[in-house]
Structure 1
């Protein structure tokens, strides 16, 4: 299958990183019969800063992979409860033919390892505590493998005709290839922690649309949202996300802001310091294809490495998994061919991403600019939430949940807008 001889390669495909993007890609590659080697720099179980919420988009990917989700550790939720402007509205996930009508919660401490072990069961080889340090190039300056450092400090080289880059937002491997982040794309920052709470078993994800920064002695509305996600294990995942289109971005103490928000909540919810069970940790949210091109010289960028977080709502897991599945499909087809034909197939990957989300992400960038205006955000919250029909449309738009063919009027409007918007 490879232009290299079998003795010159360690796998058909190398996957850098065993997060949702890497594990999903590895599962599909291995299930299709490819020799798949996954290199993960940490050891499972491991922590990952996230809201832990899985929308119906992500659930669809889990079902496609055959991941059991009716076992202990998974909590179903039926929709989104929105709080803002003095209003509270509960919006069930839409009933569609394309997606299930429920979401799931599972902590990333468990979730990532579950996906990685599932990929192993499909035949992928997983090497933990193997930190990829850089690319290996062939005589044509194509990526032909990677160098890595093992737990004992020894250096090792692994070779393969294709490399899937799934090493997250910082993506050191992408930087080694000269692929830097685009400054014209939105970026978010999220902080989160866990509290013991009697609300831990609720079946709604809760989103607070108004975040107030009081750290400078004045009450200032920031773009972004807060969340309260029940985990089902006695705790709630509490966090907030803020976008970089605010003059306060990078100048606000987000941890203090989170604590102040919790202090303003009813005492019976239990969001007090003595009930906090973990550190307040932060992470960046790379949005709207903020690193391109998504394919170059034998390497495909997948998930956060390619900046695939949804600008509308900060969701990254579903798009990591979807791009992992898309990358795997391209690789399977490419490795069935040789020479120029193989390269032509690999070059279809960026366009497949653009076809799937390009126009929609363009709309998302416009949305980010709009909510960066505090007056607009305040007006939209006050006047939008009392209108359930408008909010059901908004939920479909923000969560990217529509039926591509048929569907109701809101589906057709959102799909048409996504197609008309230029992708880039």
Structure 2
């Protein structure tokens, strides 16, 4: 059941609004306890957690499901853990293609690294097309009790005249682009890299944090079934044959199990080539260098090349201010080590939901604000040090000399690569792990939060 949106665009002053605090649950004129903008992995995850806690959640999604998203379609064990925490059935019988680890290719080396055995994460990754994955997660949120309005493009926040607090959103609905508004005590921005909602209240991205760009395409290929995700760590820009450049990024080949392979590449902004490279041409050049029998040629292409930006390392802050929480890509939560976004979108969703549930259960405005202030603190505690290391890493490999040296001398050492896998994928036990886990945990603890 969908409530009719209200058309008013400001709220009258009340004692609580004047104090800049969250009202106790919803007022009669409000549309939900919480508005969630965007029904991707971040939005559907936070909506599921909130609805299960008994809150009335309204999700607003600009597209209609099923819809396509540019992504590698592969989840590491870190992402699988978040799915399990949501109660999603991740068995192969439920439509998930499992993998055992990561195959690394580069520097003349081809090495298969199994996902580590950890107490904190399952020992397998999964692959599933985003077109199906996002639809499944949205339906999962609906099954938990969240309401979903599709074809609803949120264009800006509604703020209280006196306090500046976010009290709702303006949106355009359907093909007619009918202008409507929705209100709730709290709003959660899960609208991805565009971060339109955050921008509408002046939350700009930080230019001192890395960005990435990814492009991908599907190909019919005999490599459609693979026990490993495959990562190619040497991406050469040969647009100038006299001056080929090794770029900070990687290419991937993820078998989909349906007769196709997701082939793509990601590049970091720390390279001078960022923004000046024809990424589609780069991918074409890289795939043309693969064996012809693999099938990564134009005749076997399925659909068009898609591209997307990757906001990394907490590049938009604060993650909570004046009734608005930023979750997932909207808050720049892509891992700067490896470009993984889904796992961290769902992890931040869980943290946000926990803070919101506690806030809306408290009796006083000050206490509710105190609970909400815990969200950015929890993010920094769980990811801040790790992301600071990732930001440093992204700058280092932006140096071609360092990139070439690491590729030449690091890749052949299997023990080192197992450490690197744990670090880059964030797959380590913070407590009671092995020597590698203790090394990574110590480095993270010593790093100031991002």
- Distance in 2 (CA, whole Å) between partners of 1:215 and 1:162 is 49
Any idea what SS the aligned residue of 1:370 has? helix
State the match for 2:8 in structure 1.
Answer: none
Any idea what SS the aligned residue of 1:118 has? helix
State the match for 2:402 in structure 1.
Answer: 376
- For residue 129 of structure 2, the aligned residue among 78, 101, 107 is 107
Any idea what SS the aligned residue of 2:246 has? strand
Any idea what SS the aligned residue of 1:144 has? strand
- Distance in 2 (CA, whole Å) between partners of 1:281 and 1:6 is 43
Deviation at 1:266, TM superposition (A): 0.5
The alignment yields a C-alpha RMSD, in angstroms, of 1.1
State the match for 1:267 in structure 2.
Answer: 292
User: Quick check: 1:279 aligned with 2:304?
Assistant: yes
Per the normalisation by structure 1, the TM-score is 0.98
- Distance in 1 (CA, whole Å) between partners of 2:398 and 2:185 is 44
User: Quick check: 1:91 aligned with 2:113?
Assistant: yes
State the match for 1:174 in structure 2.
Answer: 198
Deviation at 1:376, TM superposition (A): 1.6
Any idea what SS the aligned residue of 1:348 has? helix
State the match for 1:82 in structure 2.
Answer: 104
Deviation at 1:281, TM superposition (A): 1.0
- Distance in 1 (CA, whole Å) between partners of 2:205 and 2:184 is 26
User: Quick check: 1:51 aligned with 2:39?
Assistant: no
Any idea what SS the aligned residue of 1:239 has? strand
Any idea what SS the aligned residue of 2:71 has? coil
User: Quick check: 1:310 aligned with 2:316?
Assistant: no
Matches within 5 A, 1:146-161: 146-151=169-174, 152-161=176-185
State the match for 2:433 in structure 1.
Answer: 407
State the match for 1:418 in structure 2.
Answer: 444
- Distance in 2 (CA, whole Å) between partners of 1:414 and 1:189 is 27
- Distance in 2 (CA, whole Å) between partners of 1:322 and 1:302 is 9
User: Quick check: 1:398 aligned with 2:407?
Assistant: no
Deviation at 1:205, TM superposition (A): 0.3
Deviation at 1:5, TM superposition (A): 5.5
State the match for 2:217 in structure 1.
Answer: 193
Per the normalisation by structure 2, the TM-score is 0.93
- Distance in 2 (CA, whole Å) between partners of 1:216 and 1:251 is 13
User: Quick check: 1:365 aligned with 2:388?
Assistant: no
- For residue 352 of structure 2, the aligned residue among 327, 334, 339 is 327
CA offset digits 1:190-235 (Å, max 9, x no partner) = 1100100000011100000000111122322111111111111110
Any idea what SS the aligned residue of 2:351 has? helix
- For residue 141 of structure 1, the aligned residue among 164, 167, 173 is 164
Matches within 5 A, 1:203-242: 203-218=227-242, 219-242=244-267
Q: Is the 8 A contact 2:70 2:306 kept in 1?
A: yes
Deviation at 1:380, TM superposition (A): 1.3
Structure 2 spans left out of the alignment, 5+ residues: 1-21
TM superposition outliers: structure 1 runs of 4+ over 6 Å: none
State the match for 2:32 in structure 1.
Answer: 11
Deviation at 1:326, TM superposition (A): 0.7
- Distance in 1 (CA, whole Å) between partners of 2:297 and 2:102 is 24
Q: Is the 8 A contact 1:85 1:378 kept in 2?
A: no
Which moved further from structure 2: 152-161 or 264-273?
Answer: 152-161
State the match for 1:65 in structure 2.
Answer: 86
Deviation at 1:6, TM superposition (A): 3.0
- For residue 339 of structure 1, the aligned residue among 353, 365, 379 is 365
State the match for 1:257 in structure 2.
Answer: 282
Any idea what SS the aligned residue of 1:318 has? helix
Any idea what SS the aligned residue of 2:299 has? helix
User: Quick check: 1:120 aligned with 2:146?
Assistant: no
User: Quick check: 1:202 aligned with 2:223?
Assistant: no
Deviation at 1:4, TM superposition (A): 6.8
- Distance in 1 (CA, whole Å) between partners of 2:197 and 2:240 is 39
Deviation at 1:289, TM superposition (A): 0.3
Q: Is the 8 A contact 1:2 1:12 kept in 2?
A: no
Structure 1 spans left out of the alignment, 5+ residues: none
Any idea what SS the aligned residue of 1:190 has? strand
CA offset digits 1:313-349 (Å, max 9, x no partner) = 0000000000011100000000001311001111111
- Distance in 2 (CA, whole Å) between partners of 1:72 and 1:119 is 17
State the match for 1:42 in structure 2.
Answer: 63
- Distance in 2 (CA, whole Å) between partners of 1:372 and 1:113 is 36
Any idea what SS the aligned residue of 1:140 has? coil
Deviation at 1:148, TM superposition (A): 1.1
